[in-house]
Amino acid sequence: MRRRWIAIALAALTATPLWAASGRRPAPPESVKRAPAEYTRFSTAELTRGFLALAFGSDLRIGARPKGIRRFDREIRAHVIAGGSVDRTAAMERILAEYGRKIPNLRLIIGGSEAAAAADLVVRLIDEKDFASALEADFGRATAQAFVTKTDAQCMTSVKSRADGEIVRAVSFIIVDKGENVFLDCAYHELLHAFGLSSHDQSNPWTTLNQKRMVGYLTVYDRALLTLLYDPRLRPGMTRYQVRTILPRLINGLRLAPGPDSGG
C-alpha cells in the first residue's frame, strides 16, 4: 500500500498540467538580446491567476489606498521628458504607441502641446547616476530612500490614484545609459505598472513583471492582462472577489483563452 501511494505522489509531481501554456515562439526581433521566447496561448486559469496577482498591490503607492483594481478611466495624455546621455525619446514614444495600438480601450495620446505638468502619464528618461536624486526631487528623501532600499530598483513607476481606484497620474523613471537591453526591459516593464498592473510575481514564467526575467517586449500574456484591465466590464475599484467572479467569463468572451477550462 505504501509503495502505491509513493507511485501516485511521484506521478502527480512529474505530470504535465493539463492547462500548461502553449504556442511557444521566438521573441520578436526588436526585443532585447537573448530575450526569452513567448507563449501565445493560455488557459483561463493561467490568465486569472496572473491578473489577480498583478493587478492588486504595489511597491510604491502615493495617494489614497485603493480597495481594488486601479486603472485610468479616461483619455490618457502621455508626455516623455527627454534626458540622460543617450537620446531614447523616439524609442520611448514608439513603445508608448505600441501599447496604445495593441490594447483595446486604452485611449492614449502621446506628446502634443501639453506640458509635462498637465500630463496624466509622464516618462522621465535619465542616466543611472541621476536615478536616486530624481526620485528624491519628485517624492521626497524619505519616500525615495524607502523605495530604493526595499526594491533595489533600476527603474521605477509611481502611481497616484483615488480611493475609487481611478489613476490620477503616473510617473515612470527609465534608465537610458546602461545599454539597449536595460532600456527596453525597463520601458516595457514600467509602462505595465503605469497603466495599472502595479505588482510583481516572481513565480510567473510569462509576465514581464517577474523581476527574475529580462524581457524587453510586450508579451502576448501581458497584453491579455491589460486587455482585461481596460475592458469596460471591469471597473476601477472592483475588489478581488468581484474580479474573480467575472474574470473567467470575460476571458472567454474576449477569446483570450481557447475555451472554458481549456488547456491551450
Strands (E), the chain: 61-63, 76-81, 108-110, 121-126, 156-161, 167-175
Q: How many CB atoms lie within 10 A of CB 155?
A: 22
Question: How, if at all, do strands 121-126 and 167-175 pair?
Answer: parallel
How much is the pLDDT for 202? Answer: 92
Q: Residue 5, CB half-sphere, CA atoms under 13 Å: how many?
A: 2
| Range in 124-133, 143-152, 172-181 with the lowest mean pLDDT | 143-152
Query: What is the arithmetic mean of pLDDT over 29-52?
Result: 92
pLDDT in tens, 60-99: 555 556 679 999 999 999 999 999 999 999 999 999 999 9
pLDDT at residue 15 greater than cutoff 60: no
Cell 545609459 sits on residue: 177
- Nearest-CA neighbor of 175 among 219, 129, 141? 129
